[in-house]
Copies of this chain bind each other. A is one copy, B any other.
């Protein structure tokens, strides 16, 4: 497996919100007993800037739900539109029966702080640990802290993919700048 530093740059944790806040579809990787899995989701939100805290809803019908609950670790991988078809196929299948990395030719890379692998093809990767499981029972919400963030420095205007439901996705369009006092 390739070393992260050759293909990705470390991203300051204070900038993680800029990746998550626009609402991209993401792929979440987990690992348990040497076996990795990946699922697709877009029910997530930023909850704090630094350290970055992210809330994610992962249905208890997903194979990844049990893996995340058992290990308390995952990687949030953010794909761009070139990976959209694979991202959807990952979402259509379950890791109970197949190795999705092999089935969809995704390249796992060792993370620096968690056992779950990064997906090399994704333009950004956030290594996370679960810090609050209070809402898991009632809402399937995992509250996670980002321990380490990686980004592909060559993607200046990443064409992330955003789910509109029933097979329809919006692709990130043009960028505008406005005099905002928000972070």
> With A46-B43, A172-B162 as given contacts, are A88 and B143 in contact (CB-CB < 8 Å)?
no
Q: For A18, what are the chain B residues with a Cβ–Cβ distance below 8 Å?
A: 164-166
Q: Choose from B17, B45, B55, B175 the contact partner of A168 (Cβ within 8 Å).
A: B175
CB 8 Å contact bits of A76-118 with B (1 = contact, 0 = none): 0000010011001001100000000000000000000000000
Contact check, B176 vs A81: say whether CB atoms are below 8 A apart.
yes
CB 8 Å contact bits of A16-50 with B (1 = contact, 0 = none): 01100111100000000000000010111111100
Q: Choose from B17, B167, B182 the contact partner of A40 (Cβ within 8 Å).
A: B182
Q: Considering only CB atoms, which chain B residue lies closest to A173 in the complex?
A: B173
| A7 touches B (CB below 8 Å) | no
Contact check, B164 vs A169: say whether CB atoms are below 8 A apart.
no
Q: Considering only CB atoms, which chain B residue lies closest to A18 in the complex?
A: B165
Contact check, B84 vs A141: say whether CB atoms are below 8 A apart.
no
Q: For A91, what are the chain B residues with a Cβ–Cβ distance below 8 Å?
A: 180-182
Q: For A46, what are the chain B residues with a Cβ–Cβ distance below 8 Å?
A: 43, 57
Q: How many copies does the complex hold?
A: 2
By size class, the interface of chain A is 35 or more
Q: A: which residues have CB within 8 A of B?
A: 15, 17-18, 21-24, 40, 42-48, 53, 55, 57, 81, 84-85, 88, 91-92, 132, 134-135, 138-139, 141, 143, 159-183
CA distance A42 to B88 in the complex (A): 24
Contact check, A17 vs B182: say whether CB atoms are below 8 A apart.
no
Contact check, B180 vs A175: say whether CB atoms are below 8 A apart.
no
CA distance A55 to B43 in the complex (A): 10
Q: Choose from B22, B143, B165 the contact partner of A21 (Cβ within 8 Å).
A: B165
Q: For A135, what are the chain B residues with a Cβ–Cβ distance below 8 Å?
A: 134-135
Q: Considering only CB atoms, which chain B residue lies closest to A15 in the complex?
A: B165
